[in-house]
Structure 1
Amino acid sequence: MPHFVMDCSQDIFVSHDEAFIIEQLFLQACATNLFDERDIKVRINSFEKYSVGNKREPFIHVFASIMQGRTTEQKAMLSQQVVSKLVTLFPNVPNIAMNISDFEMATYCNRTMV
């Protein structure tokens, strides 16, 4: 944890390949100093069929799930940095966004905890 899952239209890979995008998301998450880099997980889901505002326009949306405890300001800074980087990498993609959800420590469980 944290998890960064990017949903996107398949056509964005014309500009950059998946490995490069994953690396860039990882580097942006590291640059915030909010996470231990060994814990950062990044994945991409691409879609061939989709609709954005009832149109077929390229899109990128990053869903971040992080452990509770970061301030609203820290989460806003994280979103700003990631979206800014994506806008730089994909200047012709009109729909780029990100949202952050908190894991609750009380309900979180992973393999090492059982």
Structure 2
Amino acid sequence: MASAISYELFTAKRGAADGIASLDIDSKIPLSQLPDIAIDSYKGQFADTAALIAAYPTGELSDYAYVTATNSYWYWNAALASPAWVNQQITEADYIALSTAEKAGVPYIVIS
């Protein structure tokens, strides 16, 4: 009896607001069940920076994309005098040398 109730509860909650996410055929959560922040910030994968800039000439705080030509993530930096997409790759040693406050403000990718 408990399994039938559990199954009914699972079925009722699957894919519903405040419920349990379902999985698609590729075993991934469908985009329709993810919060906007999980989708809107990531702009996708681009072959090179020219393709990224062509698709998104401007951005918003927290926007990022993956560029295969540089094998790295790029972030929109609105704090620059001329806002732009920036590749913030730093070595692990350079990251460790930053102060706590600097680390909090730097999205980074560690490279060897």
RCO higher in 1 or 2 (8 Å CA, sep ≥ 6)?
1
- When Rg is computed on C-alpha atoms for both structures, the one with the higher figure is 2
Same fold, TM-score > 0.5, yes or no: no
TM-score (norm. length: structure 2) = 0.22
Name the structure with the higher strand share.
Answer: 1
TM-score (norm 1): 0.22
